[in-house]
Amino acid sequence: MDERLARLRTHQANIGHYQNLLKTNLSDVEQEFIEKRLAEERFAIAMLNSMSAPKGRDAPGFHK
């Protein structure tokens, strides 16, 4: 399996886990911690997606 795909799947699974935790009865401190972790997971996904985006001539919409 492609390492990038495996990382994306792991981050998505973590996001699902954290979203489920937010549906439970948490203290304010716990909720803040989970929300921070969610933001970090989403950022990690955005970074993985941006690193794999085509650049230059391979980018969509590139015209000579």
23-52 pLDDT, tens digit per residue, is: 999 999 999 999 999 999 999 999 999 987
3-state SS track over 1-64 = CCHHHHHHHHHHHHHHHHHHHHCCCCCHHHHHHHHHHHHHHHHHHHHHHHHCCCCHHHCCCCCC
3-16 pLDDT, tens digit per residue, is: 999 999 999 999 99
- Give the pTM: 0.76
